């Protein structure tokens, strides 16, 4: 079959890591009888330079017309790029928020997995991580503080900034369903994270998640306050299977979760909605400091491409082939600089991409 993939290389290391993911996809297609037709689109700083805005309506339409979107990273150096002198809604990251909202991608899945081969890079003590851990943060992506009304006003000579955190029950219900559906395919445990001791939006969150849980009797539901969850992720990450949470809490907890794995360069993510169209991107950023130097780790982007095959195209076997190839290359001792360790072989971005490509079975 032929799949139309919109690729957004973006800024910084984005173009380099996307190039490697495309190599891997093409090889996978060749082996399994599929073709991937790519359409390159601009978003982020490069789109600001070309069109004066981080994501044009035309580009958004092209993304919508594709079967799926694969993204590198957007954003640049705050001091050097000049993009951050623009008003907030014209900066690179605004493109990301616009595409999430515009494509209705309200469910963001970010896995936090301790890879056996990389357990040495994990900053937690061995007695905490023994046996590994594997959980996902299921983050609501198009509501809450990110999309509520905001303004800065002056009252009696005093500046005042206002951001609003709003959720309606339908927004909570649909993300909760995603959380429970994913848990059904994993270890059947959902930990819903909120701040119900303070926030009304969290009290509604808790109530609706509880209602949804009644449709999933096999899944065990627990509630946890967000400050406690931040602590539990470093104290005992093994306790989690699916962490289900709202947009801002999910932003923060997913960064923390990726850090405790010790290998943020390895973590993929998927943003999904009510159709098969998804947006797949590495969990890390655009790393402008190492851009163009063949140093970036392309594995998170390659694993994001695997997620795309699994979730948007229902190509489970093909996704397994990519994930197995990545594991095999790590087992053979190849490492990019971010995950380099004594006695291993240091490789650059391109060589890592070539190695994974050569290992697709
Ligand atoms: C992320 C990023 C974005 C977010 C930024 C770049 C707007 O931190 O994808 O987690 O906060 O959602
Ligand atoms: Mg973030």
Nearest-CA residue for atom 7 of ligand 1: 93
CB-based contact 306:270 (threshold 8 Å): no
251 included as an active-site residue: yes
Closest atom of ligand 1 to 255 CA is 10
251 lines ligand 1 (CB under 6 A): yes
Query: How confident is the model over 127-148, as a mean pLDDT?
Result: 95
Provide CB contacts within 8 A for 152, sequence distance 6+.
159, 160, 161, 162
Spatial separation of the C-alpha atoms in residues 65 and 40, rounded to whole Å? 13
Using only the alpha carbons of the chain, give its radius of gyration.
20
Confidence of residue 27 (pLDDT cuts 50, 70, 90): very high
Spatial separation of the C-alpha atoms in residues 278 and 270, rounded to whole Å? 7
195 included as an active-site residue: yes
**pTM score over 0.95:** no
Confidence of residue 302 (pLDDT cuts 50, 70, 90): very high
77 included as an active-site residue: no
Determine the distance separating the centroid of ligand 2 and the alpha carbon of 112, expressed in angstroms.
Answer: 14
Query: How confident is the model over 312-323, as a mean pLDDT?
Result: 96
200 included as an active-site residue: no
Confidence of residue 120 (pLDDT cuts 50, 70, 90): confident
341 included as an active-site residue: no
Active-site entry in 77, 181, 223, 255:
255
Q: What is the pLDDT of residue 316?
A: 94
Helices 349-358, 316-331: axis angle to 10 degrees equals 120
Q: What is the pLDDT of residue 213?
A: 98
More confident residue, 202 or 120: 202
CB-based contact 239:232 (threshold 8 Å): yes
Q: What is the pLDDT of residue 115?
A: 83
Phi and psi torsions of 95, nearest 5°:
-65, -40
The proportion of the chain whose per-residue pLDDT surpasses 90, expressed as a percent, equals 91
Mutation pick for ligand 1 pocket among 78, 83, 96 (CB with most ligand atoms within 8 Å): 96
CB-based contact 334:345 (threshold 8 Å): yes
Mutation pick for ligand 1 pocket among 143, 251, 284 (CB with most ligand atoms within 8 Å): 251
Nearest-CA residue for atom 6 of ligand 1: 93
Residue 119 pLDDT > 90, yes or no? no
Closest atom of ligand 1 to 108 CA is 9
More confident residue, 105 or 341: 105
Active-site entry in 146, 167, 280, 311:
146
Model confidence pLDDT, tens digit, residues 11-21? 999 999 999 99
Spatial separation of the C-alpha atoms in residues 285 and 17, rounded to whole Å? 11
Q: How, if at all, do strands 107-113 and 268-272 pair?
A: antiparallel
Model confidence pLDDT, tens digit, residues 238-288? 999 999 999 999 999 999 998 899 888 889 999 999 999 999 999 999 999
Angstrom distances, CA of residue 25 to CA of 3, 64, 229, 258: 11, 21, 36, 25
96 lines ligand 1 (CB under 6 A): yes
3-state secondary structure the chain: CEEEEEEEEECCCHHHHHHHHHHHHHHHHHHHCCEEEEEECCCCHHHHHHHCCCCCHHHHHHHHCCCEEEEEECCCCCCCCCHHHCCHHHCHHHHHHHHHHHCCCCEEEEEEECCHHHHHHCCCCHHHHCCCCEEEEEEECCCHHHCCCEEEEEECCEEEEEECCCCCHHHHHHHHHHHHHHHHCCCCEEEEEECCCCCHHHHHHHHHHHHHHCCCCCCEEEEEEHHHHHHHHHHCHHHCCEEEECHHHHHHHHHHHHHHHCCHHHCEEEEECCCCCCEEEECCCCCHHHCCCCCCCCHHHHHHHHHHHHHCCCCHHHHHHHHHHHHHHHHCCEECHHHCCCCCEECCHHHHHHHHHHCCC
Closest atom of ligand 1 to 281 CA is 9
Model confidence pLDDT, tens digit, residues 221-242? 999 999 999 999 999 999 999 9
Confidence of residue 116 (pLDDT cuts 50, 70, 90): confident
Model confidence pLDDT, tens digit, residues 51-68? 999 999 999 999 999 999
Model confidence pLDDT, tens digit, residues 340-354? 988 999 999 999 999
Q: What is the pLDDT of residue 117?
A: 83
């Amino acid at each position: 079959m032929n799949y139309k993939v919109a690729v957004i290389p973006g800024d910084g290391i984005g173009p380099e890591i996307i190039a490697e993911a495309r190599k891997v996809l093409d090889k996978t297609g060749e082996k399994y009888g599929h073709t991937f037709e790519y359409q390159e689109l601009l978003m982020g700083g490069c789109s600001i330079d070309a069109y004066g805005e981080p994501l044009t309506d035309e580009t958004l339409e092209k993304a919508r017309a594709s079967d799926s979107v694969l993204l590198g990273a957007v954003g640049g150096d705050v001091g050097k790029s000049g993009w951050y002198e623009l008003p907030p809604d014209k900066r690179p990251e605004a493109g990301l928020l616009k595409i999430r909202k515009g494509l209705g991608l309200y469910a963001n899945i970010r896995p936090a997995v301790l890879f056996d081969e990389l357990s040495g890079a994990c900053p937690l003590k061995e007695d905490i991580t023994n046996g590994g851990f594997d959980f996902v943060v299921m983050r609501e992506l198009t509501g809450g503080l990110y999309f509520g009304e905001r303004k800065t006003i002056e009252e009696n000579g005093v500046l005042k900034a206002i951001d609003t955190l709003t959720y309606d029950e339908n927004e909570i219900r649909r993300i909760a369903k995603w959380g429970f559906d994913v848990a059904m395919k994993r270890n059947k445990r959902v930990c819903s994270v909120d701040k119900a001791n303070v926030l009304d939006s969290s009290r509604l969150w808790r109530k609706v998640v509880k209602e949804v849980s009644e449709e999933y009797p096999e899944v065990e539901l627990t509630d946890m306050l967000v400050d406690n969850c931040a602590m539990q992720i470093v104290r005992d990450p093994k306790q989690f299977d699916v962490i289900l949470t709202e947009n801002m809490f999910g932003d923060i907890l997913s960064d923390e979760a990726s850090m405790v794995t010790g290998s943020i360069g390895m973590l993929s993510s998927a943003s999904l909605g009510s159709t098969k169209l998804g947006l797949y991107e590495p969990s890390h950023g655009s790393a402008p400091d190492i851009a163009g130097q063949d140093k970036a780790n392309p594995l998170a982007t390659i694993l994001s491409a695997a997620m795309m095959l699994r979730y948007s195209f229902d190509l489970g076997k093909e996704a397994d082939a990519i994930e197995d190839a990545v594991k095999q290359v790590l087992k053979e001792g190849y490492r990019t600089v971010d995950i380099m360790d004594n006695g291993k072989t240091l490789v650059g971005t391109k060589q890592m991409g070539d190695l994974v490509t050569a290992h697709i079975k």
